[in-house]
Chains A and B, each alone.
Chain A
């Protein structure tokens, strides 16, 4: 039971990351919710075997990106169109339409990239160093630098 509580705590602490990844790899709210659920499920499944050899955030990015790419392959929904109604969900108190519009433009730019580049861009925007991006994606740091 303690492990479950720990999992919930970690998920809640990093839910913003999952949200950003799932928004990046989907084109509408329903797909985003499906992918979000799938990512949480896959994280839960692999949490049992998580040995803390890597940072929790590294593990989380890796699982989330792999899940997103696998789901995309399965569903073959590889379109680049942007049809997100609201990029930032559940903004109740500080909802800013202008900010929302700028985010849509940002996501539209990112969605023009291929699936691997999207992941690299996300990690770069998250402020990850090349070494950590390499660890998450399985590429070499040099390769990461070249692609970026």
Chain B
């Protein structure tokens, strides 16, 4: 085969390839899917570590439940255990659902619809967690004081420093709740942008 013939053939090949701009579509979709899933990787790791922490404390509270000797401390224990065991499961399940939104095998509209449902669910759980965290903080104070120090948090006399500590704890819970919710909000918005780029 002469060089001129090769060049002519190559030129034909180039022309044909220029008319079929489909080769990279699948790869780009796969890369987008990977990027989308990676958006939730760090937060899933943090949630998993948090879940282990919560389960450990939850089990400890359950093991010492008999020390809670009044009806309101028992109620605090129940609230705390329900929060520590239930919330991580709900959050991790919601994260798994949102990560599982399939871009490659579904149409843009279907993927966006799946995402919207999963996002709504995830953000509702986060809102619930923020609201519950203040109640749980009070419940945890009662349970902690009883189990660790055999004191009734709700009856014991407190000096100004103790009250200041409670105030500080409330500020801390408010800050972490706000930070957590904002992180989720940022990540889900960023993931949504990736999906919208596909349109």
Contact = CB atoms under 8 A, between A and B. Distances in A.
B6 A106 contact: yes
A37 B30 CA distance: 10
B23 A19 contact: yes
Interface stretch (A4-12, A57-65, A133-141): A4-12
B17 A106 contact: no
Interface in A91-145: 91-92, 94, 99, 102-103, 105-106, 109, 125-127
Contact of A19 (B9, B10, B17, B31): B17
Contacts of A41: 31
A94 to B, nearest CB: 7
Nearest to B14: A16
A99 to B, nearest CB: 7
A84 B13 CA distance: 15
Interface string B15-56: 011111111100110110000000000000000000000000
Nearest to B30: A37
A104 to B, nearest CB: 11
B33 to A, nearest CB: 13
Contact of B9 (A12, A44, A102): A102
A90 interface: yes
Contact of B21 (A15, A89, A125): A15
Contacts of A90: 20, 22-23
B1 A105 contact: yes
A5 B197 contact: yes
Contacts of B31: 40-41, 44
B193 interface: yes
Contact of B13 (A18, A88, A105): A88
A102 B19 CA distance: 19
A36 B1 contact: no
Interface residues of A, number: 32
Given A15-B21, A36-B23, A102-B9, A8 B16 contact: no
Contact of A15 (B1, B6, B7, B24): B24
Contacts of B13: 20, 87-88, 103
Given A8-B28, A16-B17, A99 B12 contact: yes
B16 A91 contact: yes
A88 B28 contact: no
Given A103-B9, A109-B1, A1 B193 contact: yes
Contact of A40 (B10, B12, B20, B27): B27
Contact of B20 (A11, A91, A102, A125): A91
Nearest to B10: A125
B42 to A, nearest CB: 19
A99 B20 CA distance: 16
Contacts of B23: 15-16, 18-19, 36, 89-90
Interface of B: 1, 6-7, 9-10, 12-14, 16-24, 27-28, 30-31, 193, 197
5 contacts: A36-B27, A88-B13, A89-B23, A90-B22, A126-B14
